[in-house]
Homo-oligomer: A and B are copies of this chain.
């Protein structure tokens, strides 16, 4: 298999959530519970749309992560029930947040072998979200030693990637980013003149969805991290 994204590359960036370890499926399970809890007040589909709307408006205030998700669920629940929400339901939602923060970190199949095949290369973990929670997941994954550096960022936009690349002395055209989100792991790199590989995951958060198609000169789509790293 030819891998044009690895030619003349000085460093490889790899995403964390749903690229190295499971994340979104825990959120999905929580959203299902949330739909059950509020079934007397709202059909699941409406609820999902309202929750995503609340999450998006809260992004600019609270950023990403479980705690912001918990607050958005509580707000949506109050809104949907018109103030008719039993207090026990709020306790339940907070309990889910604690579970999400303390879940065991489950490394995705094939990841360890894929990282081993790339040993000797400069690997940088670039993961987005809550600092405290991401650090816990990095530690629990047992993968920290595979990386030259761990970069936990609050947003994955071109400016953030540019700062990370500068800090590590890597030119954008000598860098490839690998991850499961076209929006966060692919498009910002393409904008910077870098390369990217999209490794889709079974579940994708609505906010990270994108219809963009690979262009074979700047970014590619492969089925697994193993296929990306060779």
A28 within 8 A of B: no
B83–A87 contact, CB under 8 A? yes
Interface mask (A61-78 → B, CB under 8 Å = 1, otherwise 0): 111111110110011001
User: Which B residue's beta carbon lies closest to that of A135?
Assistant: B154
Copies in the complex: 2
What DSSP secondary structure best describes chain A's contact surface?
helix
User: Which B residue's beta carbon lies closest to that of A66?
Assistant: B62
B63–A90 contact, CB under 8 A? no
CB distance from A77 to the nearest CB of B (A): 9
A97 within 8 A of B: yes
Q: In whole angstroms, what is the CA distance A8 to B153 when docked?
A: 34
A62–B154 contact, CB under 8 A? no
A40 within 8 A of B: no
A88 within 8 A of B: yes
Could you say which residues of chain B place their CB within 8 Å of the CB of A70?
Answer: 67, 71
User: Which B residue's beta carbon lies closest to that of A68?
Assistant: B67
